[in-house]
Chain A
């Protein structure tokens, strides 16, 4: 690990799924303390990008490199990437029948503790930890006994993702359309949670379609992704411009 390296460095990344090339020579560098917003039309490769970072097995990396803290993560399993500090808030969090949120969250927390050579916590200690985190995203403790995402409303699912991000205290968090499908109140709660979570030693990638999320979270950079690569990078003003003009003027 090189302390001077950027947190994440993506070089000429080419990725395909079922022999369709989705990412075409994507380049991106993210340093600690930065928030990057990635915008772009449907089908431009934003979700693929997030899943490839997390190591989803359906995608094949044809070429290029992903360096996290200076080392390649391409040979690593999804769970190893998670242990290193990469977190993905899913666009469509999946339901897991029969498994309570409490057990799920505790296992995830303990997996991370174990990886960091810290003591694993017992269920009672864990309740103390999770109850504080629940307050940050304004969720009731009753939610712990429900099964993971089962019967959750769209907003609850998204809040659950943010809860997990805070609990696991990840260094690099990729939020895939966490704002879509949220009402204004939920959007405020989630944004507040994200802002409290953000510190100078972390970085966040926000994948979004809407400028309104950026009213609450101020990005360091805004990127536009089109056809599998980043075609424009700017400040938060770029998002406002996109909101007015759409994407077509870029091509």
Chain B
């Protein structure tokens, strides 16, 4: 019996599905760790190791107290076993004696790790116009182009450095957008965060380079709790990119980050993420639990914050990059592609809180679910009674691949004045065997067919990505998806 081309098609698919996660390697390096478990002593020890000012220790302890009283949120459409917070290492840093002066002092093993990830920390290789802060487990390893940026008054450093060098800015802004007790994971992060990036763009400066942080989780037992704070002063502008990967372990690692953005009058921040944490194997074993709070505050008139995210990794994604639109005529944007395959689960979306007059927001969300995965868009558009003339446009599209995946959309809209204009569009489509067959019958191969359909589906989001990210995102999605079809 010849089962026509079914066999061939299936073999292709299996081959493509099993393409290994290319960043799954781990680096062997001597580490300085704090024993797993979380209590006040752990927090004091983290603070001590980082030689932090007193206000920060207080901030951490206050957060810890709040966290202890809080419950893990259960409203998301996610299923996972209870996380044991006492079984996590909260501080893991490659052993170094003192603060690094130049890159030559960085452990070559680490430099090589980042080279392998495609991130060159060697400034001589000035291939792209991007300054990079590289975070490895709990600490920042290196930040490139700092001197060049300093000439423009732009501060770009690890948050640990910034705590020492600019304590007044940190004290003023840290926790001002995402309060300590905002949610369970933000409280946890505020208590134990170890590193992250800090950017400060002074008045009237258009940041000459794109700034970027690359997060790498290496240790199998450690969580990563980083904190990013970006402040864009009056009339300034910056593009910020975030990338992340992790080795392939059969246990789950916790990643609970906070990102806070602040734009003052006429300022603009464009924040782009390509999230490619390890997502677990085809049976759903292993992968990162990604619980992230990202929020931007458009404080000034005509200010703008734009979030673009391509979420492809993580075993679980819980993430709602949001905008608080306070400044008159300020603008918030959210462009998202979330892809889930195998047993991945994503509950992601945005909140646009309109408080100022004539504020505008735009939400474009594209969810792609394949395999046995669950992909949920959850959004809130909230128009306050003072936000006269506010406008919002939302579009939520879901693409299903195969018959076993799941897509959900939960858009909440709350409007408290009558001068508002809201538009919401949603669609669901499916890539099935019949579509693939149509392509094949016209002589177009499977890979091309999937690539074309996916990039078509995501086009509106990809055009928002910085060039160097757009190509990467396109490739990444195709790689992750090819073969889950049929």
Footprint of B on A, CB under 8 Å?
52, 54-62, 74-79, 82-83, 87-88, 90, 93-94, 96-100, 103-104, 107-108, 111-112, 115, 147, 164, 168
Contacts and interface: CB of A to CB of B under 8 A. Distances in A.
Interface stretch (B158-166, B172-180, B432-440): B432-440
B4 A52 contact: yes
A62 B452 CA distance: 34
Could you say which of A52, A59, A83, A107 has the most chain B C-beta atoms within 10 Å of its C-beta?
A107
A75 B2 contact: yes
B463 interface: no
Contacts of A77: 5, 8-9, 440
A60 B452 contact: no
Given A77-B8, A96-B453, 13 more contacts: A57-B4, A60-B2, A61-B1, A76-B5, A79-B444, A82-B440, A97-B399, A98-B453, A98-B455, A99-B452, A107-B444, A108-B443, A168-B443
Given A75-B2, A77-B9, A107-B444, A57 B437 contact: yes
Nearest to B446: A79
A105 B415 CA distance: 45
Is chain A's binding surface mostly helix, strand, loop or mixed?
Answer: mixed
The 7 closest A-B pairs by CB, nearest first: A98-B456, A78-B440, A111-B443, A82-B443, A108-B442, A57-B6, A98-B457
Given A96-B438, A99-B453, A99-B456, A83 B4 contact: no
A242 B372 CA distance: 50
Contacts of B1: 60-62
Given A82-B443, A96-B438, A107-B448, A74 B2 contact: yes
Could you say which of B9, B439, B452, B455 has the most chain A C-beta atoms within 10 Å of its C-beta?
B439
B15 to A, nearest CB: 14
B424 interface: no
Nearest to A86: B441
B254 to A, nearest CB: 35
Contacts of A61: 1-4
B129 interface: no
A97 B437 contact: no
22 contacts: A52-B4, A55-B5, A55-B441, A57-B6, A57-B433, A58-B6, A59-B4, A60-B4, A60-B6, A74-B2, A77-B5, A77-B9, A78-B441, A82-B443, A90-B438, A90-B441, A94-B435, A96-B435, A98-B455, A104-B442, A108-B442, A111-B448
Nearest to B456: A98
B2 A94 contact: no
B429 interface: yes
Nearest to B458: A98
B484 to A, nearest CB: 16
B437 A168 contact: no
B444 A111 contact: yes
A98 B435 contact: no
Contacts of A99: 452-453, 456
B452 A57 contact: no
A56 B437 contact: yes
Nearest to A85: B443
Contact of A83 (B399, B439, B443, B453): B443
A82 B445 CA distance: 11
Contacts of A97: 399, 427, 429, 453, 456-457
Contacts of B438: 90, 93-94, 96
Given A57-B4, A107-B448, A168 B441 contact: no
B433 to A, nearest CB: 7
A215 to B, nearest CB: 29
A58 B433 contact: yes
A107 B435 CA distance: 15
Contacts of B429: 97-98
Nearest to B428: A97
Interface string B439-476: 11111110010001101110100000000000000000
A88 B439 CA distance: 11
Contacts of B8: 77
Contacts of B3: 60-61
Contacts of A111: 442-445, 448
A55 to B, nearest CB: 5
Contacts of A164: 442
A88 B435 contact: no
Interface in B389-441: 399, 427, 429, 433-435, 437-441
A115 B427 CA distance: 37
Contacts of B453: 96-99
Contacts of A88: 441
B444 A100 contact: no
Could you say which of B5, B439, B456, B486 has the most chain A C-beta atoms within 10 Å of its C-beta?
B5
A61 B4 CA distance: 6
Contacts of B441: 54-55, 78-79, 82, 87-88, 90
Contacts of A58: 6, 433
A82 B456 contact: no
A88 B440 CA distance: 11
A10 B448 CA distance: 31
Nearest to A51: B437
A74 B443 contact: no
Given A56-B437, A97-B429, A100-B456, A79 B445 contact: yes
Nearest to A60: B3
